[in-house]
């Protein structure tokens, strides 16, 4: 990742901080360190200190010369992100639960930092509006902002969509996008946790933090559908339910395990979108390792028509005479 003319200390080192030290925060940091650029990780933040320590240990083992985080630049708690962003740095990586991202993004823009933020950017319309408003401010400051919708940067997707836009299959009149897979991790509440700590640690299971599966995961394939169409839908009708996940116990998990939505574009064309969970992992304690992934399942239709590198997901596009 290159950030031209963005060096906090006046040298050629790009100093970055990571807000959110879970899987994606560690992954994004490793991606940056794997580039040819002269980069240094100089601060980390997570709601939980253990996550910060785990991330630093893993990154130091693999990229020791690119990790320069002193003890006083390890920040915790829900407001600790401000102290991390205040550190002398060029780039901020935001990889926290999406319910927390709007205020973190706003603060990074206010401080004049370049930003990479994972998807999704928020869990509700007010949060999205906050991010969009902050984006306008970032443009005024000539800041570089990237969002983790990686399909837009995958050569196979880029070539495919370019060919569709060039008319290779004619006018797109119908789309079908899927995200079908196994269950997700769950961590039991411990005796010393507050309810806020429990929900933050299990953020994927609570709608105010994750936005449910359509927002958190299916955003990738919905983004591909909109990219293919060159537009965003103007209407949506949908249905869904919560029956299987954590035994249907809403106090443990609020997100649906099956949804179906029909999106309508301004020209009347449709995009059908399905999310389904076919297996559940069960629970783990906060200290135990993640349960193994459940079996990934595709519909026969999607398997035959689309092969991708992501998990069990697919997109199909229909024109007036054939399907690809």
Q: How many CA atoms lie within 13 A of 125 on its CB side?
A: 0
Rounded Cα distance, 117 and 210, in Å: 15
CATH number corresponding to 14-148: 3.40.50.720
DSSP string, 210-271: H-HHHHHTTHHHHHHHHHHHTS--SEEEEEEE-SSGGGG-TTT--S-SEEEEEEE-TTS-EE
Q: Given 3.30.360, 1.10.10, 3.40.50, 1.10.1060, which CATH number is that of 160-318?
A: 3.30.360
Residue span(s) of the chain under CATH 3.40.50.720 come to: 14-148
Rounded Cα distance between 254 and 194, Å, is: 18
Identify the H or E element spanning 275.
strand 270-279
Q: Which two tokens stand for residue 76?
A: 């915790």
Q: At residue 321, does pLDDT exceed 90?
A: no
pLDDT at 310: 37
Is 257 within 8 Å of 241 (Cβ atoms)? yes
In the chain, residues under CATH classification 3.30.360 are: 160-318
Residues sharing a CB contact under 8 Å with residue 238, sequence separation 6 or more, in sequence order: 259, 260, 261, 262
Task: Report pLDDT digits (tens) over 140-173.
Answer: 999 999 999 999 999 999 999 999 999 999 999 9
The predicted model scores a pTM of: 0.84
Is 103:94 a contact under the CB 8 Å cutoff? no
Confidence of residue 280 (pLDDT cuts 50, 70, 90): low
Q: pLDDT tens digits, residue range 182-224? A: 888 899 999 999 999 999 999 999 999 999 989 999 999 999 9
* Tens digit of each residue's pLDDT (9 = 90 or more) over 238-258: 999 988 788 778 888 899 989
Q: Please report the pLDDT score of residue 303 as a whole number.
A: 27
Backbone φ and ψ of 311, nearest 5°? -65, -165
Region 11-18: mean pLDDT is: 94
> Residue 25: which of 65, 72, 71, 75 has the closest Cα?
75
| pLDDT value of residue 180 | 86
Per-residue pLDDT tens for 35-90? 998 999 999 999 999 999 999 999 999 998 999 999 999 999 999 999 999 999 99
Q: What is the pLDDT of residues 286-319, one digit of tens each?
A: 443 343 333 333 332 332 233 333 344 455 555 5
């Amino acid at each position: 990742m290159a950030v031209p003319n963005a060096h906090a200390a006046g040298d050629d080192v790009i100093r970055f901080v990571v807000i959110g030290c879970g899987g994606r925060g560690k992954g994004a940091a490793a991606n940056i360190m794997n580039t040819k650029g002269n980069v240094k990780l100089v601060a980390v933040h997570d709601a939980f200190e253990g996550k910060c320590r785990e991330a630093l240990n893993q990154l130091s083992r693999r990229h020791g010369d690119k990790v320069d985080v002193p003890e006083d630049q390890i920040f915790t708690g829900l407001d600790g992100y401000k102290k991390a962003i205040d550190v002398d740095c060029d780039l901020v990586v935001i990889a926290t639960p999406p319910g927390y991202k709007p205020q973190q993004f706003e603060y990074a823009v206010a401080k004049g930092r370049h930003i990479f933020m994972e998807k999704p950017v928020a869990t509700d319309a007010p949060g999205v509006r906050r991010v969009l408003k902050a984006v306008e401010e970032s443009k005024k400051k000539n800041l570089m902002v990237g969002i983790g919708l990686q399909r837009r940067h995958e050569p196979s997707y880029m070539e495919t969509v370019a060919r569709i836009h060039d008319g290779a299959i004619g006018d797109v009149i119908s789309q079908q996008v899927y995200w079908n897979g196994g269950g997700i991790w769950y961590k039991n509440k411990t005796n010393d946790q507050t309810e806020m700590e429990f929900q933050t640690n299990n953020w994927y299971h609570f709608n105010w933090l994750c936005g449910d599966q359509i927002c958190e995961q299916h955003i990738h394939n919905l983004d591909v559908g909109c990219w293919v169409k060159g537009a965003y839908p103007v209407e949506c009708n949908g249905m869904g339910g919560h029956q299987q996940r954590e035994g249907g116990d809403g106090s443990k998990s609020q997100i649906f395990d099956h949804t179906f939505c029909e999106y309508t574009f301004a020209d009347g064309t449709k995009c059908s979108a399905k999310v389904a969970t076919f297996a559940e992992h069960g629970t783990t304690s906060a200290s135990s390792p993640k349960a193994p992934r459940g079996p990934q399942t595709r519909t026969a239709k999607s398997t035959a028509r689309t092969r991708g590198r992501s998990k069990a997901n697919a997109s199909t596009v229909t024109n007036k005479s054939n399907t690809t």
